[in-house]
Amino acid sequence: LAFQVKGPGIGLLGFSLGADICLSMASYLKNISATVSINGSGFSGNKPIQYKQTCIPPLNHDFRRLKVAFSGLLDIVDIRNDVIGRHENPSMIPIEKAQGPILFIVGQDDHNWRSELYAQIASERLQAHGKEKPQILSYPGTGHNIEPPYFPLCPASVHKLLNKPIMWGGEPRAHARAQEDSWKQILTFFCKHLGGTQNIASPKL
């Protein structure tokens, strides 16, 4: 794999909470030319997001909505408080302030939170503020942990917040295909918006 970009713009790539950090950076910092959000939420989750004098309140969660799967793993997809007001919710990151385009990558079988719904709400917000409709890549049978190609599926692990094993979702074949396709899409997106050149060699294992 050979991948080059040239300034002065910066590209950001984040996953889950890291994606929300990237969206926050793109919203408040200069020279962010392109951002990729992999299964991010676009909301301030468990803690407020603070930048200078700005404070975005958290959505918070309700553990009474925890579910236990047949496997015994916890399913936390519903524990976040309802997204009242959708794109006008005060807990949403002001992504309309981002200078560059945003690519949303979501797994339809994400059991951490409702990534596909959040990407749709983000699209609503951008368009409500006169921005172009963003690109959303939505993958069926794909869970929360969308990693680079050939990383094995992680269907469950211990969640730091709960200190208990939870399910992340994903069907092995579909998830693997999504990781391979999304990686190509990410490279294409960054090359287009950061002015680089792309040369993808055939992978060798």
Per-residue model confidence as pLDDT tens digits over 77-105? 999 998 888 999 999 999 999 999 999 99
pTM of the model: 0.90
Q: What is the rounded CA–CA span in Å between residue 9 and residue 31? A: 5
Please report which confidence band the pLDDT of residue 196 belongs to, taking 50, 70 and 90 as the band edges: low
**pLDDT given for residue 160 in this prediction:** 85
**pLDDT given for residue 170 in this prediction:** 96
CA 46 to chain centre: 16
The amino acid present at 106, given as its one-letter code, is V
Provide the residue ranges of all domains of the chain, joining segments of one domain with +: 2-199
What is the overall mean pLDDT for the chain? Answer: 91
- DSSP-derived secondary structure for 126-140: HHHTTPPPPEEEEET
* In contact, 53 and 132? CB cutoff 8 Å: no
- The answer on pLDDT for 202 being more than 80 is no
**pLDDT given for residue 95 in this prediction:** 98
Residue 123, CA atoms < 13 Å, CB-side half-sphere? 15
The amino acid present at 147, given as its one-letter code, is E
**pLDDT given for residue 54 in this prediction:** 93
Query: Each residue of 52-72: pLDDT tens digit?
Result: 999 999 999 999 999 998 889
For domain 2-199, the CATH class is alpha beta
**pLDDT given for residue 19 in this prediction:** 97
Query: Each residue of 116-174: pLDDT tens digit?
Result: 999 999 999 999 999 999 999 999 999 999 999 999 999 999 998 889 999 999 999 99
| Average pLDDT of the segment spanning 8-15 | 91
Q: Are strands 67-68 and 164-167 parallel, antiparallel or unpaired?
A: unpaired
Active site residues: 16, 110, 144
